[in-house]
Structure 1
Amino acid sequence: MKPRFSFGKIFLLGFGFFGVSVIWSVYNAYVPIFLHNRFHIPPGIIGFFMTLDNLTALFIQPPVGAWSDRLRTPIGRRLPFILAGAPISALAFGLIPLQTFLPFFMACTITLILSMAFWRTPVVALMPDITPSRYRSQANGIINFMGGVGAIIAFLIGATLYEMNPNYPFWLGSALVILATLMVFAFIREPQEYEVTDQTQPSLWHGLRQVIAAEEKSALRILLAIFFWFVAYNAIEAFFTLYAVNHLGISEADGARLLGQLSLLFVLFALPAGFLGSRLGRRNTIISGIILLTSVMLVLFFTPVAVLNTSLFRLPVVGNVPVAGLSLMVAGIAWALININSLPMVVDMTDDLHIGTYTGLYYLFSTLAAIVGPNLNGWIIQLSGENYALIMIVAPIFMMMALLMMLGVRRGEAKAHRPQPVPAD
């Protein structure tokens, strides 16, 4: 039986993305601060430390995606991974801020990294499992909306909690991950029938070889584009709170609030970005986002600090919005246009049997980027005498490389809807 599109079901699935987003938003905002202030780690090493999660995930997430394609259990092929990994993630995450001895700190972060890698790809692959092809951009918009809500909570509410006690944002994240897991388990039912096109079991590396060897290069081009734009985005994200403190001259909590302002506009545009991808084409929507995000990065680099810190207005919950905050809000819109439509393009380049495998390829390239980006920026910052402004000039180079790749993509739009025959009475 083919899956039917249900807004309610996708919103419920979004709780899984909500949990993932809360964890990584708090982690990326405050772990670099701990490393710098508590353990006195230099920027080059911080960059490497912030890629340990991606380095580990590189070897775990793609094979787990292919494994989940093959798995058959009474509760489905994705849920067992979520139920096993999420509680361990919540426990390890809650212990991170309590550690004052670096080896114990690393033990908690590595446990978090391993457990998160175990359930990340299966929860992502659930979306195309339960969503027909023509609705996947809209569905990806919904679940990224939920992920964005998680980021807003992590950055805005988490910033206030951090000012009260640095432990509190982590404990909030742990509680929300447990809640999100329970919601997914209680309300999501996986399909029990899967399309089988041949007798060959899905394999990530076999799929990668096919992508590279294919005469038509759209799949390879979009995977390379994903690599380039994630190099740019992750390079900035890993150092943003340190950029805020050392370049903008504001507090760690206010730096997190700026990220919250980006996340707010990402959330507001998550659903429109999916509908724009459906109406205007995913490729065209992504290209528009790349151009817009590149422009914002260049504005942040060339605008004087005094201007970036100039207050423009205040919003409830969000607080003061300076020029830098408004720029990041535009960046949130641009990132929604890119991010919402990229995974649907990848999974619509294959059949239903290999959705987990292609989801794994998506994470293979995005994870490689998340390893390269922070390491590259970490050493650039360190070798430049800790000039954190440079992160905003390196990233546009990679965004332009992503644009060149996207210009050659010819497939990945929503597949034509084939009405199912009505059974005779």
Structure 2
Amino acid sequence: MKKIWLLGFGFFSISIGWALYNGFVPFFLNHYLASTALIGFLMTIDNYFALFLQPYIGQRSDRTNTRFGRRMPYLLIGMPLAALFFALIPFHFNLVSLIIFMVCMNLSMAIFRSPTIALMPDITPEPERTKANGVINFMGGCGAILAFSVGSFLYDIEEFLPFLAVSAIFLIALLVVFKTINEKRDTISTAMTMTPKINYKKELNSPTIYLLAAIFFWFFAIQGMEALFTLYGVNELGLSNSSSAFSLTFFSLSFVLTAIPSGILGARFGKKKMILIGIIGLVFIFLLLNLIQSVYFLRALLLVGGIFWACININAYPFIVSTGTEQSFGTRTGLYYLVSSLAAIISPPSLGLLIDLFGFGILFYTAAGSMLLALTCMLKVTISKSTEQASSPDKW
């Protein structure tokens, strides 16, 4: 339990970094670019890196064997580099230098993101992974909240202060993880069995393929909804910009608050069952969102929707890991981020095109339809008893 919370500092640093990056870097780009579309494209660099680099690095870390372990070398290289380039971003002197710092920062993040997340199943027994994922997602959510609250305060004082603060957090998180987690000592013995090469034919079994498809469809719905929700609130419901943006925080807040309980329930009743409950719940939430006009009901539905999203998201990663072997945690982490990043790239422009053609009313109908496709895929995921076993009483 203690080591999972300490490992959560790694995920905390990743989340606070991305939240601050997404929140404030567009302001720098806006100094040089008038095109919102071009700014949006530049802000998706990380998703393109995730498509190619993270699966490779995750698979590479499965085959790494050093005195520091399999994952730790990537943290030792990537986190200091990310801290350096993150700190340099506000000190850019023209558009070219800004883009160079952004690209280098994104490359650095790609080096250690998959190995950091793969450490969780490395050191956690199968029945406890949904609980552990709830803990690290809780810490990640707290990081995002701090990025917008404390980060905004620091940004008002000096633009560079939040970036320097996050760089320091990267280095502190690396020190905490490195000092407290010894892979040679803490990794489950079966996870340390080294194989020269991953058998992709074996790893990409039928349950994995259907699960990856389900992951794509539910991220397609969520990423598109989050990207276009504020415009929906302004144009469809007549809310102000700030009121529309504030409404979406109810979705994020309930997700953070129910992250750990969702992991506990996943361990108790099964990961697949919790995911199915979350998908069905979100289908109804999205359909109901088309019918309401009151901002209070809107926020109430988003609050409930965040709970259902936690049921899905907290149990999804442990589930994708459990459908393979212990030797492929890094590979499966990379595949998880590949399909979620692909959804993040495709969803906003696709839903934006549908809105241009049919109006903002199509947003939540499309999101509900995508969730139904995810449900169809999940129903085709066959699992063994060992995969879905409930955890026995423990020290959690």
Compute the TM-score of the two structures, normalised by the length of structure 1.
0.80
| Stretches of structure 2 lacking an aligned partner (at least 5 in a row) | none
Do 2:203 and 2:325's aligned partners in 1 also have CA atoms closer than 8 Å?
Answer: no
Q: Match for 2:261: what amino acid?
A: P
- After superposition, the C-alpha distances for 1:151-189 in whole angstroms (9 at most, x for unaligned) are 221233334445555555444433322222221112111
Native 8 Å contact 2:55 2:331 kept in 1: yes
Q: What's the counterpart of residue 222 of structure 1? A: 211
CA displacement at 1:197 relative to structure 2 = 10
Write out aligned runs for 1:117-136 (5 A).
117-136=110-129
Matched, 1:59 2:52: yes
Paired residues, number: 388
- For the pair 1:410 / 2:382, whether they are aligned, the reply is yes
Partner of 1:191: 184
Matched, 1:201 2:189: no
Shift, 1:50, TM fit: 3.4
Which stretch shifts more, 342-351 or 151-160?
A: 151-160
Between 282-291 and 327-336, the greater mean CA deviation after superposition: 327-336
Out of 348, 371, 375, the residue aligned to residue 322 of structure 2 is 348
SS in 2 for 1:40: coil
Decide whether the 8 Å contact of 1:35 with 1:41 is kept in 2. Answer: no
Deviation at 1:17, TM superposition (A): 0.6
Measured after TM superposition, the shift of residue 300 of structure 1 is 4.1
Distance 1:190 1:233, change over 3 A: same
Task: Give the superposition deviation at 1:408.
Answer: 1.4
Whole-Å Cα distance in 2 between the matches of residues 400 and 172 of structure 1? 42
| Pairing partner for 1:232 from 205, 208, 221 | 221
- Cα deviation, 1:86-130, whole Å, max 9, x if unaligned, reads 122223233434557433332222112111111111001100110
Cα distance in 2 for residues equivalent to 1:299 and 1:379: 22
8 Å Cα contact 1:82/1:181 also seen in 2: yes
2:147 aligned with 1:154: yes
- The letter of the residue matching 1:201 is P
Partner of 1:210: 202
Deviates more, 1:91-100 or 1:62-71: 91-100
Matched, 1:330 2:324: no
Letter in 1 for 2:83: A
Partner of 2:42: 49
More helix by proportion, 1 or 2?
Answer: 2
Percentage of pairs with the same residue: 42
Superposition map of 1:164-175 within 5 A: 167-175=160-168
Deviates most, 61-70 or 83-92: 83-92
Report if aligned partners of 1:47, 1:379 keep a CA contact under 8 Å in 2. no
Distance 1:389 1:171 in 2: 42
Q: Report the RMSD for the aligned CA atoms in angstroms.
A: 3.2
Rounded to whole Å, the distance in 2 between the matches of 1:227 and 1:131 is 26
Between 290-299 and 61-70, the greater mean CA deviation after superposition: 290-299
Task: Name stretches of at least 5 consecutive residues in structure 1 with no aligned partner.
Answer: 1-6, 311-322, 420-425
Shifted more, 231-240 versus 263-272: the winner is 231-240
Contact kept, 8 Å, 2:127 with 2:391, in 1: the verdict is no
